[in-house]
Structure 1
Amino acid sequence: MTISYPEVRDSVYATAGVYAPQQDSQLLIEAMTRSGVVTGRRVLDLCTGSGTVAIAAAQLGASEVVAFDICEHAVACAAANASEAGVRVDAREGMWVDAFVAGPFDVIVSNPPYVPTGPDADRENIPVECGPPAAWNAGLDGREVLNPLCDSAPEMLTAGGTMLIVQSEFADTEQSLRRLRSGGLRAEVVLSQLIPFGPVMTARAKWMESIGMLPIGRREEEILVIRAEKS
């Protein structure tokens, strides 16, 4: 089943220095649409980037959408895209700790940085069109943002709340599930897609092979969406 969201695709753009919507954003929107959990609820979009997921949440009938990003350019871009799409999104500059203060929320959606990052990442030749490195770099194991996000989820969600997170298989899916479950949430993978490597993963493949993270010669990854529920 493929979800179509032409309103988002036609109205969302990424300005210079902002992460442009890609397959991971699309997969998260598809999971959000299928779940039906957004309508009439207060939604938080963490690491909003261009705002594409936040806009989709608003179009799906969320009562309120708050979107956070650490990049001021992303916040401005998300606000402009929401205005162009004719929906209300409260775009704010800040980290997950700032979102924590603004909570709790009925639904949290996030496409965080999750790409494992080697010691020579600053020497990689990645096109500027891909956006800023902060949009994907996430430490040696890809979990610099995923760990605090998963650990704080129980306190950021209202009773009966839902979290949807998209990540790569190379950022240790099982650890995300364990961390969410250790906080008392019910968590499972609800959607996945196998995609060819883009510019970032292609530039990083040799390093990943050298440490045994990537099978030699493989140039595709599974991206997936985890759904966590609070009782």
Structure 2
Amino acid sequence: MSLGTLPAQLITLPGVYRPQTDTLLLAQALSRERMEPDAEVLDIGTGTGALALAAARSGGRVTAVDVSWPAAIAARLNAFRQGLPLRVLHGDFVTRTRGRRFDIVLANPPYVPSARARPPSHGAARAWDAGSDGRAVIDRICASVPALLRPGGVLLMVHSGMCGPGVTVTRLEAAGLSARVAARARVPWGPVLRARRDWLQAQGLADGDEHEELVIIRAEYI
């Protein structure tokens, strides 16, 4: 398995986000980064641990964090099954990593806009719903990442074009990072977006073309 691909036959427990196109795009972005021996890597919102395991297989010393207990358990099971060293933590990424710095931070946060003003505190939707603008977790990452990165460290984050990639770049730059959109891809809507088509159109977040733009944001802490 190359770094630009994902581990096969991952255990996915009920309620845990399955690796999808956004996960693969992030893995491909990671494959373009130089991974130093024993680089410290943080995977925020690890889910099944797919990205964390890809980084660990390339030699990274990986810490994976998720607020979901089923996700943390799935990541631990997958690491054990593949014989890879992975430190999996359950809880809020800011709290669980306080005082530590990393060479690479990976993030596939919840980013789907929702009619609910606040993200859910439990259930499967916790993996994708992120408030009315989809930025509830994205903005926390933008504010927190300077304290997570070592000098020269890199953040790679994927999210939807609906969430304002320009806003993300601006906020990261305001936090002292050099940021840009490093990759884009258009993908068909999945069942979550199709189910809220009318609401998205009413908010001006979608038109009749049921395709979503995904972006990879790359930010470096100079």
TM-score by length of 2: 0.92
Is 2:66 the partner of 1:69?
Answer: yes
Contact 1:58–1:88 (CA<8 Å) still a contact in 2? yes
Contact 1:116–1:139 (CA<8 Å) still a contact in 2? yes
Question: Which sections of structure 2, spanning at least 5 residues, go unmatched?
Answer: none
Range 100-109 or range 48-57, more displaced: 100-109
Contact 2:6–2:27 (CA<8 Å) still a contact in 1? no
**CA offset digits 1:154-204 (Å, max 9, x no partner):** 111111111100000001111110110001100011112110000111112
SS in 2 for 1:10: coil
- State the structure with bigger RCO (CA 8 A, min sep 6), 1 or 2: 1
Give the drift of 1:82.
1.1
Give the drift of 1:7.
7.8
Q: How many angstroms apart in 1 are the aligned matches of 2:37 and 2:160?
A: 27
Number of aligned positions between the proteins: 219
Q: What one-letter code is carried by the residue in structure 1 that aligns with 2:218?
A: R
Q: Kindly tell me: are residues 121 and 205 of structure 1, through their superposed partners in 2, closer, same or farther at Cα, counting changes over 3 Å?
A: farther
Q: What is the match of residue 166 of structure 1?
A: 158
Question: Which sections of structure 1, spanning at least 5 residues, go unmatched?
Answer: 123-130
More helix per residue: 1
Q: Kindly tell me: are residues 110 and 121 of structure 1, through their superposed partners in 2, closer, same or farther at Cα, counting changes over 3 Å?
A: closer
Q: 4+ runs of 1 displaced by more than 3 Å? A: 3-9, 119-122
Contact 2:110–2:126 (CA<8 Å) still a contact in 1? yes
Q: What is the match of residue 219 of structure 2?
A: 228
Is 2:85 the partner of 1:88?
Answer: yes
Q: What is the match of residue 135 of structure 1?
A: 127
Q: Kindly tell me: are residues 209 and 154 of structure 1, through their superposed partners in 2, closer, same or farther at Cα, counting changes over 3 Å?
A: same
Q: How many angstroms apart in 2 are the aligned matches of 1:226 and 1:211?
A: 24
